[in-house]
Chains A and B, each alone.
Chain A
Amino acid sequence: MKAFTYQRADSTTQAAAAADKPGAKIIAGGTNLLDLMKLQVEMPSNLIDINRLPLDKIEETADGGLRIGALVRNSDLAADPRVRQRYGVLSRALLAGASAQLRNKATTGGNLLQRTRCYYFYDVTKPCNKRNPGSGCAALAGFNRIHAILGTSDHCIATHPSDMAVAMRALDANVETINREGKTKVTPIAEFHRLPGNTPEIETSLKPGEIITAVTLPPPPPGVQVYRKVRDRASYAFALVSVAAIVDSTRGRIRSARLAFGGLAHKPWRVAQAEQGLVNAHADTATLNAAANAVLEGARGFGGNDFKIPLTRRTLHSVLAEMTQT
């Protein structure tokens, strides 16, 4: 680990001002950042610890939603009775991620900002445009079983590893930020994470000196909520494909559906056309095929991850068939 100075922030604006300086990095749970610092993938010269800021509350909002403080731990968010009652897909997605020890530390804001688990991003001896812009992408022709099939570029085929963010995407969450002047901003989660394009090192819309203060959830949409995660082992593994689904249906007739996918792209993946095609449709094979085709529009495998295309199709079929049975 490279040497750094350590400071504890007393306020969000102070933290934002400190984070604006070159080499500065905010630390909250630290479960991803310290991992990367040990490998010298991340080398901050100044660490700003925000753990003592009062951003650890979950509050009801006036419109019937929830406001989740950036420092709410993943385990506390998953266990919150309001989340379990009204946002089951979020609770389930959180519980699908990492281990209990990590969830006890990992925060809401940090989860959104975690880096990809691409092997070549982690291996400092290999080219990676995300870690070292302009050096190339070793994953394109390397082992790419866990990599993206949608929204990729010639510069990067990494995925975003979060489960939580996939559920938040299905729930149309908003990300609240504050800058050093105390100015707040609200960004829909759809616009928060970026596709790699030719700047894969820029992963979010967050500007230097902006910090996440909360994530807000609108009131829950009607219907059943499911989070299905397909992975190489039954627990404590990243998703090969995951889907956060919210479906309102009666006797096989779908009124509305929301489908967000993890493990497929550089951000949680959601296709409006796929969801529109399900409105007032009967959940038969033709309907589900059409939905899968719309989700996978433009999908491209890189050898090791070709299997994700049929796996996504089958996962979507399985989840929608199960959710529309009754």
Chain B
Amino acid sequence: MDEHESNTEPSTFEVTRRTVIETGTTALLLTTLPRSAFAAGPVDDDEPPLPPVKVELQINGHLHSLILDPRTTLLDALREHLALTGSKKGCDHGQCGACTVLIEGRRINSCLTLAVMHAGQSVTTIEGFALGDNLHPLQAAFVEHDGFQCGYCTSGQICSAVGMLAESRQGMPSYVTEDLTHPAAELTDVEIRERMSGNICRCAAYPNIVAAIKQAAGLPT
């Protein structure tokens, strides 16, 4: 982690927040941020918001300190508070996988967890994979194999595939693994499709997604 950069991470939200906190007017904070920043679902206008909570998250190697309504999902924290809009909100109910990110290296649906539950943990989003202009091998493979049409599911697909390949390397089985006692299953097309079933692609780019993952995994495509 880059300590220096992490502490001075430029963010319009951060500046606003700090200014507000210094003046001690939390109420102002609550009115200056977009309403969507505070609620993951229907907003109840008749209810006063509860006191915000402080949450520190290590995102793509940088430490971020946020002041959040406890209701804020990890996905909304990323998108609305940190302007990391690579992670997408598809169904917002854990059914489509567009919001997939990695927490401590494991893939999860960021829409179905609260940011405050992950205080102190490390989060990797699609913005954290490329090194400058050098794409992550999975990103490059998705481009090469045309693993998308509209692209809305793509960042979730790529985050999920990174997590999936790590699980596979660790010997994790899947529902279609024939012999559960065997330490590691070979990543066949059927295995990849089962392991990626939490990521829906409405353009149905599945054959090309499978090909991209196989290439990135060093398998013949």
**With A and B bound together, what is the CA distance between A100 and B167 in angstroms?**
10
> B170: nearest residue on chain A (CB-CB)?
A79
Size of the chain B interface, CB-CB below 8 angstroms: 49
Residue of B171, B193, B198 near A102 (CB, 8 A) is B198
* B113 x A105 contact (CB < 8 A): yes
> B69: nearest residue on chain A (CB-CB)?
A3
* B113 x A88 contact (CB < 8 A): no
* A34 x B113 contact (CB < 8 A): yes
* A2 x B47 contact (CB < 8 A): yes
Residue A307 CB within 8 A of the other chain = no
**With A and B bound together, what is the CA distance between A5 and B44 in angstroms?**
15
Residue A1 CB within 8 A of the other chain = yes
> B183: nearest residue on chain A (CB-CB)?
A81
**With A and B bound together, what is the CA distance between A30 and B74 in angstroms?**
12
* A101 x B160 contact (CB < 8 A): yes
A79-90 interface mask toward B, CB cutoff 8 Å, 1 = contact, 0 = none? Answer: 101001100100
* B50 x A102 contact (CB < 8 A): no
Residue of B47, B94, B175, B181 near A235 (CB, 8 A) is B175
> B39: nearest residue on chain A (CB-CB)?
A1
Closest CB of chain A to B111's CB: distance in Å? 8
Q: A3-B47, A4-B50, A88-B180 are in contact. Are A100 and B113 (CB under 8 A)?
A: no
Residue A95 CB within 8 A of the other chain = yes
Interface hits, B66-103 → A, CB 8 Å: 69-71, 73, 92-94, 97, 100
**With A and B bound together, what is the CA distance between A69 and B185 in angstroms?**
27
* A35 x B114 contact (CB < 8 A): no
**With A and B bound together, what is the CA distance between A31 and B174 in angstroms?**
20
* A30 x B112 contact (CB < 8 A): yes
Interface hits, A195-252 → B, CB 8 Å: 234-236
* B40 x A100 contact (CB < 8 A): no
Residue A256 CB within 8 A of the other chain = no
Identify which of A36-44, A142-150, A292-300, A313-321 touches chain B: A36-44
A93-107 interface mask toward B, CB cutoff 8 Å, 1 = contact, 0 = none? Answer: 001101111101100
* A105 x B173 contact (CB < 8 A): no
Q: Is the interface of B mostly helix, strand, loop or mixed?
A: loop
Residue of A6, A38, A75, A91 near B92 (CB, 8 A) is A38
**With A and B bound together, what is the CA distance between A91 and B194 in angstroms?**
15
> B101: nearest residue on chain A (CB-CB)?
A101
Residue A92 CB within 8 A of the other chain = yes
**With A and B bound together, what is the CA distance between A105 and B118 in angstroms?**
12
B93-129 interface mask toward A, CB cutoff 8 Å, 1 = contact, 0 = none? Answer: 1100100100000111100111011000000000000
Closest CB of chain A to B71's CB: distance in Å? 5
Contacts of B47 in A (CB 8 A): 2-3
B139-158 interface mask toward A, CB cutoff 8 Å, 1 = contact, 0 = none? Answer: 00000000000000000000
Q: A30-B112, A30-B117, A51-B117 are in contact. Are A35 and B94 (CB under 8 A)?
A: yes
Residue B49 CB within 8 A of the other chain = yes
**With A and B bound together, what is the CA distance between A75 and B106 in angstroms?**
10
* A105 x B108 contact (CB < 8 A): yes
**With A and B bound together, what is the CA distance between A37 and B70 in angstroms?**
13
Contacts of B113 in A (CB 8 A): 30-31, 34, 105
Q: A30-B113, A49-B117, A95-B175 are in contact. Are A102 and B41 (CB under 8 A)?
A: no
Q: A34-B112, A91-B180, A95-B174 are in contact. Are A100 and B41 (CB under 8 A)?
A: no
Contacts of A84 in B (CB 8 A): 173, 180-181
Residue B8 CB within 8 A of the other chain = no
Contacts of B175 in A (CB 8 A): 92, 95-96, 235
Contacts of A190 in B (CB 8 A): none
Residue B172 CB within 8 A of the other chain = yes
**With A and B bound together, what is the CA distance between A235 and B177 in angstroms?**
13
* B108 x A30 contact (CB < 8 A): no
Residue A53 CB within 8 A of the other chain = no
Contacts of B44 in A (CB 8 A): 2-3
* B41 x A38 contact (CB < 8 A): yes
> A7: nearest residue on chain B (CB-CB)?
B70
Residue B17 CB within 8 A of the other chain = no
> A5: nearest residue on chain B (CB-CB)?
B50
Interface hits, B184-212 → A, CB 8 Å: 193-199
Residue A47 CB within 8 A of the other chain = yes
* B114 x A3 contact (CB < 8 A): no
Interface hits, A13-34 → B, CB 8 Å: 27, 30-31, 34
Q: A6-B53, A95-B175, A101-B108 are in contact. Are A39 and B41 (CB under 8 A)?
A: yes
Q: List 6 A-B contacts (CB under 8 A).
A: A1-B41, A5-B70, A31-B94, A34-B73, A34-B114, A84-B181
Closest 9 CB pairs between A and B? Answer: A99-B198, A235-B197, A38-B41, A6-B70, A95-B175, A236-B197, A1-B41, A84-B180, A79-B172
Chain B residues in the interface with A (C-beta under 8 A): 39-42, 44, 47-50, 53, 69-71, 73, 92-94, 97, 100, 106-109, 112-114, 116-117, 160, 163-164, 167, 170-175, 177, 180-181, 183, 193-199
